[in-house]
Structure 1
Amino acid sequence: SIQYVLHTVDYVSPTERVIFQTCERERHSVVFQMVRQNDIAAIDINMGCPKEYSTKGGMGAALLLCPEKIEMILSTLVKGISKPITCKIRILPSLTETISLVKLIEKTGVAAIAVHGRSKNERPQHPVHCDVIKAISQAVSIPVIANGGSQEFIRQFQDISAFRSVTSASSVMLARAAMWNPSVFRPEGMLPVETVIRDYIAYAVQYDNHYTNTKYCLCQMLRDQLESPLGKRLHAAQSTLEICEVFEMSDFYESCRVAQKAKKADLQSVGLVAALENDDAEDRNIISLPIRFDKRNYMSQITPKMLLLEWCRKRKLPQPVYHTVQRPVDKFFQSVVKVDEMQYASTLWDKSKKLAEQSAAIVCLHTLGLTEIKMNESDFAQKRKRKLQCQEDEGTRSLKEEHNKKLHQNGSEHRPLIQDATTFANQSGTHN
C-alpha cells in the first residue's frame, strides 16, 4: 500500500503489520527478496542462512546441497524478471566443491554472488575463511561480495577496504557490524552509539516503524548494556512511546504524531485517504489504546479486571462483559470489554485470553481516568480473611461430624474432636 503521509510504500501482512517498507530515497539501492519490480533495484536469493528454521524447510543453506534446484531457481528468475538477480551462499566443506558451485551459479546469468566465508556448521566465533572467498573471486568473472568479516576484521569504516582487499572481492556486505553501530559506514569516523540510537529512534518514529523491530535493533546496539538499568527498561518497553520514554524522547514522539495527524487531515480533505486512523477497532466504535497488562504493576491478588468490577459495583452498573477473538495467523488474542454501553480494547494482541482481558480492562480504567485506582488493601484483606475463615469453619464442622459418626458406629463414647495438647497426651498414655 502507498502511505501518502509517510511517503512510503508498505508491504503489509494479513495481520496489518508492516513487514517491509521503502521510499523514493531508496529506489536505486534496495535489494529485496521478493518481487515488486517498480520499488526495487535488484532481487537477492538467500542460500546462506544456516538457521534451523530455514534449513529444515529446505531453504537457506539447505539449498547448497541441491545444485540442480539452485540452477533452476536462478535461471528462471534471470529469464523472467528484468531486474538484476543475485544470490548469497556459504562455502562448502572443500574448496573444490565450492568452486564448482559458484561456477554453476555464474552460468545461470546472475549479476553477482555474495559469499559468507564460513560453512553451514560454522558460527560467528569461528574464523572467516578469507582465502576461500579470494579463490572464488579469482574463479569467476561476475562480482563477488565478501561477507562475514564483522568484529574479526571490521570495527570501523577503514577496515571495510582492508577486508575487501584481502578477499579480492568487488565489494563487502556487512550485517553484525552495521547493526551494532550503523555509523560504521561513516568515512569521517564512527559516532557514539548513544547518538546513533537517538537518530535511529527519530527515524523509527517518523516512519511509524513497528515497535518490536525498533526494539530489536536498539538491543543490538546496546549489546553489553542490556543488563544495565537502561537495557532492562528497553527490554520492558511495549510500544514506540515507551521506547521513546526510555531515551527521554517522548516529546519528539508526541510532536511527530501531531504532525502526522495534521497531514492525514489535509490528505483526507482532498480525498487521498479515506479517514483518520480507520482501523477495525474504530469502525466498531471501540476506544483503543496500545496498552498491555504487566502483572508487576499490580498487587498479586488485585488485577485490572477486579478493579474494574469493583468500580462498576460501587456505581451499581452491570458487570463488565468481555468478548475475545483469536487471530488465526499467530494464535494471539484480543479482548473487547463493554462497560456502561461503551467498548474498550487494547491494540496490542496477547498470548492468552486471560492476558487480553486484563489489557482491555486497563484501557477502560485509563480512559475513565482511573489509572491510579486501587482497591483498599485493608478491605481486600478483610474480605479474603472472612472468606478463608468461613472455609476453615466449614471444613472443621465437616471433619468433626465425620469423626463423631465413626465413633458412634464403633460404639465408642464421644470425645471432643479438638483437644489441647496436655489432655490429648494424658488420654493417649505416652509410655517409654
Structure 2
Amino acid sequence: METDIKRFLELACEFDENYTMTKYVVQRILGGQQEHDPRGRATVASGCVSEICAAWNLEEIYEKWRLYRQRMKCKRKNELCPETGAQFIDVTFPVKRLKDHTAGTPKCVLNKFCDEQNLDRPIYKTAMRDGDKRYISTIDVMGKKFRSRFGQPNKKMAEQVAALSALIGLDLRHILIGNWEEG
C-alpha cells in the first residue's frame, strides 16, 4: 500500500495532477486505514498536493516537479489574450488556501502594495465561461492586464487568482507570503 501511494504521488507530481483527484486516489488506496494511519489523517486534512506529499515524506519530489514546471513556464513566450490583451499567467490555488490566509490573500496584498505606492487599485473584469460555467477574471493594474486560463468556481476565487497572476507578472510574487500556486 505505501509503495503504491508513493509511486502514485510521484506520478501525480510529475504530471501535475490536480489536488482533488490526487487526494481521492490516495484515500481510495488507503481505504479504512486513513483513519488509523497518521499519514492517512494528514492526507484527509490536506488542502493541496504539496501537503499530501509532505504527509508521505515526498516534499522533495513535489518541489522538483514544481520547479521544473516553473522553469518551463518561464521559457514560454508571453501569450496574450486576443480578447483583452491580457498576459496569460496560468495559476490557481485550492479554495482552502483562502480560509487559511484571510489577511494575506493575493488581492489584499496587491491592494496594500498599490496603496503604499500611491497607485490606483486594480480593476477586475470577471465573466462566466459558457462551456463549463466557471469564472475567469482579468485584472488591470499598473497599466498592465493579467489573467489565468484556469476557470474558478465563483467570482471571488477568479479575482484572487487574477491578483496572483498579476503579482507574478509584475515580479511582486515575493510580497505574498506562502505557497499559493498550484497549476
- CA drift of 1:208 comes to 4.2
Unaligned runs of 5+ in 2: 82-86, 179-183
| Number of equivalent positions | 164
Distance 1:261 1:311 in 2: 24
Residue 282 in 1 paired to residue 84 in 2?
A: no
Residue 250 in 1 paired to residue 59 in 2?
A: yes
CA 1:341–1:258 in structure 2 vs 1: closer, same or farther (change >3 Å)?
same
SS in 1 for 2:6: helix
Distance 1:360 1:229 in 2: 32
> In structure 2, which of residues 24, 27, 34 is the aligned counterpart of residue 219 of structure 1?
27
| TM-score with structure 2 setting the length | 0.66
- CA drift of 1:233 comes to 3.4
Distance 2:25 2:17 in 1: 11
Distance 1:324 1:370 in 2: 24
- Conserved in 1, the CA contact under 8 Å of 2:88 and 2:147? yes
CA 1:356–1:261 in structure 2 vs 1: closer, same or farther (change >3 Å)?
closer
| TM-score with structure 1 setting the length | 0.32
CA 1:305–1:256 in structure 2 vs 1: closer, same or farther (change >3 Å)?
closer
- CA drift of 1:353 comes to 0.8
- CA drift of 1:352 comes to 0.9
Structure 2 match to 1:370: 175
% identity of equivalent residues: 27
Distance 1:243 1:319 in 2: 36
Higher relative contact order (CA 8 A, sep 6+): 2
> In structure 1, which of residues 224, 228, 232 is the aligned counterpart of residue 44 of structure 2?
232
- Conserved in 2, the CA contact under 8 Å of 1:288 and 1:345? yes
SS in 2 for 1:350: coil
Structure 2 match to 1:334: 136
Distance 1:362 1:226 in 2: 35
- Conserved in 1, the CA contact under 8 Å of 2:123 and 2:140? yes
CA deviation digits over 1:5-48, x for unaligned, max 9? xxxxxxxxxxxxxxxxxxxxxxxxxxxxxxxxxxxxxxxxxxxx
SS in 2 for 1:316: coil
AA of the residue aligned to 1:372: I
Structure 2 match to 1:429: none
Distance 2:70 2:154 in 1: 33
- CA drift of 1:347 comes to 5.2
- CA drift of 1:317 comes to 0.9
Structure whose CA Rg is larger: 1
AA of the residue aligned to 2:176: T
The alignment's C-alpha RMSD in Å is 3.6
> In structure 1, which of residues 200, 205, 220 is the aligned counterpart of residue 13 of structure 2?
205
CA deviation digits over 1:350-378, x for unaligned, max 9? 211122112322444465111139xxxxx
Structure (1/2) with the larger helix percentage: 2
Residue 309 in 1 paired to residue 111 in 2?
A: yes
Distance 2:118 2:79 in 1: 28
CA 1:220–1:320 in structure 2 vs 1: closer, same or farther (change >3 Å)?
same
Structure 2 match to 1:188: none
- Conserved in 2, the CA contact under 8 Å of 1:292 and 1:348? no
SS in 2 for 1:338: strand
- Conserved in 2, the CA contact under 8 Å of 1:292 and 1:346? no
AA of the residue aligned to 2:134: F
> In structure 2, which of residues 77, 99, 102 is the aligned counterpart of residue 296 of structure 1?
99
Structure 2 match to 1:17: none
CA deviation digits over 1:82-131, x for unaligned, max 9? xxxxxxxxxxxxxxxxxxxxxxxxxxxxxxxxxxxxxxxxxxxxxxxxxx
Structure 2 match to 1:325: 127
CA deviation digits over 1:146-166, x for unaligned, max 9? xxxxxxxxxxxxxxxxxxxxx
SS in 2 for 1:305: helix
Distance 2:57 2:41 in 1: 14
Distance 2:61 2:154 in 1: 33
CA 1:244–1:334 in structure 2 vs 1: closer, same or farther (change >3 Å)?
farther
Distance 1:229 1:309 in 2: 37
Unaligned runs of 5+ in 1: 1-192, 265-275, 374-432
- Conserved in 1, the CA contact under 8 Å of 2:23 and 2:43? no
SS in 2 for 1:199: helix
- CA drift of 1:342 comes to 3.4
SS in 2 for 1:329: coil
Distance 1:206 1:323 in 2: 33
- Conserved in 1, the CA contact under 8 Å of 2:148 and 2:165? yes
- Conserved in 2, the CA contact under 8 Å of 1:305 and 1:361? yes
